[in-house]
Amino acid sequence: MSTHNAESCVINAPLEKVWAAISTQDFKFWSLVKFTNQIASSSEVGGTREVTFNDGTVQTYRLIEYSLVKNALTYEIIDSKPSVDFLSAQHTIQVTRVTANNTSFVQWISDYSADGSEAAVMDSKYKKLEALAELTKSLEN
């Protein structure tokens, strides 16, 4: 069983517009997210934010990498209510310019600890696909 999942899409919008929507980590484009509470600057490594989902789940994320050079950020889940069934998870979102037509390639990668279940990985897969579709819709309109 793999504890790694990567999903991607191409968005018909310039990198700057896509990165602006992702880099704040407020997930406003994603209908599953009710709201976020930014504890520190969205680009400050070590900063945390609480993400409250519509189903009542509240997760705390800590930013562990932020790169303006690579247009990428990595965060880890440090708390979840209700609790999750894996020890740790790291998620990376990266935006790359498609130079041929000034669109953007977005990749969202998740790596779970060895105890990450197949169900957790598959849930992550489908939620990322939904989030990427909603991000695309919000930026292309």
Q: What is the mean pLDDT of residues 70-84?
A: 93
Whole-number pLDDT of residue 112: 87
Q: What is the pLDDT of residues 85-108, one digit of tens each?
A: 877 889 999 999 999 999 999 999
Specify the number of domains making up the chain: 1
Q: What is the mean pLDDT of residues 31-38?
A: 94
Q: What is the pTM of this model?
A: 0.92
Q: What is the mean pLDDT of residues 31-46?
A: 87
The domain of 40 spans: 4-140
CATH of the domain at 58: 3.30.530.20
Burial of 95 (0-12, 13-18, 19+ CB in 10 A): buried
Residue 1 has pLDDT above 60, yes or no: no
> How far is the CA of 62 from the CAs of 12, 16, 39, 138, 141, in angstroms?
30, 23, 10, 25, 31
Q: Which residues of 4-31 are buried (b: 16+ CB within 10 A; e: fewer)?
A: ebebebebebbbeebbebbbebbbebbe
